[in-house]
């Protein structure tokens, strides 16, 4: 597989490092100074996107024009999801998007689906989501934290609203609070707390470095090659667990 890396920052460089270890060719690298696929369209098979949210639609359009599949690890572009889906379907390409490509995080998502089902009828237990990232992270809350919150709201029917700002007065029973902290160089920690008057349970995922995200993105790039349509990391994980 020949890989294009769109967004040659810390994540892009980590993907390149792991790709070379796994004998995957990195044939195109785009950064903020050179953001157009242009003449490089024939030089790669799949693109991996870890750039800015504002560039997602443009790069999807370029990949559609080039008939190349794409893995989007960039977050913060959910408002453009319907437009991207239309472009992918009309263009006949394949695209995987996820709030987090870490294999461990995607297993964590599955665990939260089960936990949400178990706590749905246990009204003595409240739930909250907490996340910590490095001080340079652009979006807050993280896409991963919002995905966890959305999973929990689907399963715990009494939760109807995500509160991602400090509450003004007493919180409503139907609110699920998501709190964010930005400090230092923390790669990423996500915690889900189920608390009752009797006991408390905590589920924690801690990223040690960026390699976990890069490895998942490479796995997704290999999986999407030759496929058409919109997919998520859940589809990739399902294929590898069955």
pLDDT at residue 241 tops 70 = no
Q: Which two tokens stand for residue 129?
A: 């989501």
29 is catalytic: no
- Interhelix angle 103-119/233-241, nearest 10 degrees: 90
Write the pLDDT tens digit of every residue in 123-134.
999 999 999 999
- CATH number, domain of 43, equals 3.40.50.720
Residues 6+ apart with CB under 8 A from 51: 6, 7, 9, 30, 32, 35, 59, 74
d(Cα 135, Cα 186) in Å, to the nearest integer?
8
Place 163 in a pLDDT band, splitting at 50, 70 and 90.
very high
Helix axis angle, 233-241 relative to 211-224, nearest 10°?
80
Q: Are strands 189-195 and 200-206 parallel, antiparallel or unpaired?
A: antiparallel
- Environment class of 235 (CB within 10 Å of its CB; exposed 0-12, middle 13-18, buried 19+): middle
User: What is the pLDDT, as a whole number, of residue 122?
Assistant: 97
Q: What is the number of domains present in the chain?
A: 2
Compute the distance between CA of residue 1 and CA of residue 124 in angstroms, rounded to an integer.
51
| CATH number for 118 | 3.30.360.10
Mean pLDDT over 58-76 rounds to 94
pLDDT bracket for residue 242 (50, 70, 90): low
Annotated active-site residue 137? The verdict is yes
* Per-residue pLDDT tens digits for 30-44: 987 888 888 778 899
Task: State whether 121 and 178 are in the same domain.
Answer: yes
CA separation (Å) from 29 to 23, 99, 131?
16, 22, 31
pLDDT band for position 237 (50/70/90)?
confident
- Catalytic residue from among 59, 133, 159, 205: 133
Domain residues for 195? 103-206
90 and 46 in a common domain: yes
Residues 220, 169 within the same domain:
no
List the catalytic residue out of 13, 29, 137, 228.
137
Q: What pLDDT shows up at residue 33? A: 80
Judge if 71 and 136 occupy the same domain.
no
Domain identity same for 33 and 55 = yes
């Amino acid at each position: 597989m020949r890989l294009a890396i769109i967004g040659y920052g810390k994540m892009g460089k980590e993907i390149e490092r792991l790709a070379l270890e796994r004998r995957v060719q990195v044939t195109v690298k785009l950064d903020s100074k050179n953001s157009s696929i242009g003449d490089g369209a024939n030089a790669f098979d799949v693109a991996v996107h870890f750039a800015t949210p504002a560039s997602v639609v443009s790069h999807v359009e370029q990949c559609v024009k080039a008939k190349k599949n794409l893995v989007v690890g960039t977050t913060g572009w959910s408002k453009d999801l319907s437009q991207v889906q239309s472009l992918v379907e009309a263009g006949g390409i394949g695209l995987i998007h996820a709030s987090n490509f870490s294999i461990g995080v995607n297993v964590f998502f599955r665990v939260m689906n089960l936990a949400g089902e178990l706590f749905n009828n246990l009204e003595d237990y409240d739930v909250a989501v907490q996340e910590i990232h490095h001080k340079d992270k652009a979006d807050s809350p993280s896409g991963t934290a919002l995905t966890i919150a959305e999973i929990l709201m689907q399963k715990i029917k009494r939760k109807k609203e995500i509160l991602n700002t400090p509450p003004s007065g007493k919180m409503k029973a139907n609110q699920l609070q998501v709190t964010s902290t930005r400090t230092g160089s923390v790669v990423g920690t996500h915690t889900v707390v189920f608390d009752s008057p009797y006991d408390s349970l905590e589920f924690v995922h801690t990223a040690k470095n960026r390699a976990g995200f890069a490895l998942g993105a490479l796995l997704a790039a290999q999986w999407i090659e030759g496929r058409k349509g919109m997919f998520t990391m859940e589809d990739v994980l399902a294929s590898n667990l069955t």
